[in-house]
Amino acid sequence: MSKILKVNPLNIDPKLIEEAARIIRGGGLVAFPTETVYGLGADALNGEAVSKVFEAKKRPLDNPLIIHIADKKDLAGLVENVPAEAEKLIDRFWLGPLTLIFKKTQKVPDLVTSGLDMVAVRMPSNMIAMKLIAAAGVPMAVPSANLFGRPSPTMAQHVIDDLGDAVDMILDGGKTEIGVESTVVELADGGIVILRPGGISVEELKSVVKKVQVREKPSWQYSLRARVIIVENDSKQIESVSSIAKDYIGQGNKVGIMSKEEHSHAYREFNNKAFGPESNLRICASKLFNVLREFDAENIDIIIAEAIPERGLGLAIMSRLKKAAAF
């Protein structure tokens, strides 16, 4: 059994952090909250520990990990150089949900970067994460603490459900604040390319860097029991969702509707879970993965999800919804 320790984020017990740090230094795996989602951490410089991370998640070895640091100074040993644009982004967005990609040094094991000569690095703002990394005294390789293909965990229970005994310790610090993963950014001459939309929006990035492109690679689909259908965000959204729901129910399917809170009143006759109000995308982001997991646990066949506008955090939310749907 993995050991589960409750940590009060407002009053972090240094003894618990030290116990977890000892596991990391000894080459073990610890799951813990970051401000985005729960992560599965290992000593990034210990190849054997890193390979355990891939094993626990059943993650293909060609999918590189993000190194998490607790001090900007630790970048120096990991990356060849910090371009001026990166420096500006770091000043503005660290600590926080922004991952930057740099040319790596020899020190970073190839396993972490899946053989690429580039390494992704971020410095989280969650204080449990920060204190653990600082106490471990090593940079940590930290993917999301889900099984490969599953939505990322936003609470300790999700980690237990997915990884169970494959981790040595889980620090339970309650629900994560943001609920979607960090924005992953590559530097291109004079600008940046967003490889994964996330907690820092395009609009925020544009306030620091002029040239911002989004180039998300088409990716695998989340493995959910349910099929997910996204219904366009237009004036007929409620009618469309209701009629699709009725069709599928008529065919004998268990249907769940994942809607904006503003529309919930229209879906009273259905199994409806709101992921938050369209007027507050932060709430939508923080509840998204949990709603998907809840419907899955109810053995729903079809999830009908309402699209939201792709601005601000809406871009990250829609990118995850599209990953859940089959298109």
Q: Which residues bind ligand TXA (CB under 6 A)?
A: 34, 36-37, 39, 63-66, 97, 99, 101, 113, 116, 118-120, 124, 142-144, 181-182, 184, 195-196
201 touching Mg ion, by CB under 5 A: no
- Closest distance between Mg ion and the C-beta of residue 242, in Å? 34
Identify which range of 118-126, 138-146, 184-192, 284-292 contacts Mg ion by CB under 5 A. 138-146
Backbone dihedral angles phi then psi of residue 30, each to the nearest 5 degrees:
-125, 130
Nearer to Mg ion, 144 or 176 (CB): 144
Instruction: Select from ligand TXA, Mg ion, none the partner in contact with residue 28, using the beta carbon and a kind-dependent cut-off of 5 to 8 Å.
Output: none
**Binding partner at 116 among Mg ion, ligand TXA, none, C-beta below 5 to 8 Å by kind:** ligand TXA
- The end-to-end CA distance of the chain, in Å, is 38
Segment contacting Mg ion (CB under 5 A): 111-119, 140-148, 252-260, 305-313?
A: 140-148
Rg (CA), the chain: 20
Q: C-alpha angle with apex 96: 180 to 275, nearest 5 degrees?
A: 25
- Residue 304's binding partner among Mg ion, ligand TXA, none (Cβ under 5 to 8 angstroms by kind) is none
Least separation in angstroms between residue 284's CB and Mg ion is 19
Sign (positive or negative) of CA dihedral 283, 287, 288, 289: positive
Nearer to ligand TXA (CB atom), residue 183 or residue 259: 183
Distance CA(319)–CA(327), nearest Å, equals 11
The least CB distance from residue 145 to Mg ion, in Å, is 9
Give the tokens for residue 3: 């050991």
Smallest distance from ligand TXA to CB 263, Å = 29
Q: Look at residue 237 and give the partner it binds from ligand TXA, Mg ion, none, a contact being a CB closer than 5 to 8 Å depending on partner kind.
A: none
Least distance in Å: CB of 178 to ligand TXA?
8
Binding-site size for Mg ion (CB under 5 A) equals 1
Among 36, 99, 144, 286, which residue sits at the site for Mg ion (rule: CB under 5 A)? 144
Chain residues in the site for Mg ion (CB under 5 A): 144
